[in-house]
Amino acid sequence: MSSADDNVVVRLVTEDDKDGWQRLWRSYQDFYKVSFPNELDDFNFERFLDPTVKIWAAVAVNGLSGEVIGMINFLSHMSTWDFKDKIYINDLYVDGNSRVKGVGRKLIQFVYEEADKQETPSVYWCSDESNHRAQLLYTKIGYKANKTIYKRNGY
């Protein structure tokens, strides 16, 4: 018996994925009730394609329709706590019609595999306290760290 995600392929973005990624990026902003300038879309996408920049995006593609149904943006950074870099998942979004079908898990597992290839196995991310549906997945493939995030006022 096959699962719903058998026809989903996760891969790094290519130039041809910009429209699909952008559609999900804007839905992600709507979900979190934020709005970024449209120029940031182009700026980010150019960085994803630049091999000299340690920030990437991957997409989940429905293998039957070719539609981009999920996206994940992640970056690498140094740490004073380890000799190896860390990978931070900055953004994760799955189209509403494709949720609870294993797409989010496949996107995160893709990042895990990319981190292993880079020999930077430490991967982490943040989640809004109110995003309970996502946290059901996160507790299955990771653990809730004992940290609280603080931000500079106004930013």
37 in any annotated domain:
yes
123 in any annotated domain:
yes
Give the model's confidence band at 8: pLDDT under 50 very low, under 70 low, under 90 confident, else very high.
very high
155 in any annotated domain:
no
Give the model's confidence band at 131: pLDDT under 50 very low, under 70 low, under 90 confident, else very high.
confident
54 in any annotated domain:
yes
Q: DSSP code of 4?
A: G
pLDDT at 3 over 60: no
106 in any annotated domain:
yes
Helices (H) and strands (E) in the chain, counts: 4, 5
Instruction: Say how far apart CA 97 and CA 5 lie, in whole Å.
Output: 13
Taking residues 109-130, what's their average pLDDT?
93
pLDDT at 1 over 50: no
147 in any annotated domain:
no
Mean pLDDT score of the chain, rounded to an integer? 92
Taking residues 101-118, what's their average pLDDT?
95
Q: Quick one: what percent of the chain has pLDDT higher than 90?
A: 72
The pLDDT, as a whole number, for residue 18 is 97
The pLDDT, as a whole number, for residue 2 is 45
86 in any annotated domain:
yes
CATH, residue 108 = 3.40.630.30
Instruction: Say how far apart CA 125 and CA 114 lie, in whole Å.
Output: 15
Domain carrying residue 43: 4-141
Instruction: Say how far apart CA 89 and CA 57 lie, in whole Å.
Output: 10
Residue 23 dihedral angles phi and psi, to the nearest 5°: -60, -45
Closest CA to 10 of 110, 121, 114, 141: 110
The pLDDT, as a whole number, for residue 4 is 52
148 in any annotated domain:
no
Instruction: Say how far apart CA 130 and CA 105 lie, in whole Å.
Output: 19
- Split into its structural domains, the chain has a count of 1
Taking residues 57-70, what's their average pLDDT?
94
- 89-98 pLDDT, tens per residue? 999 999 988 8
Taking residues 93-116, what's their average pLDDT?
92
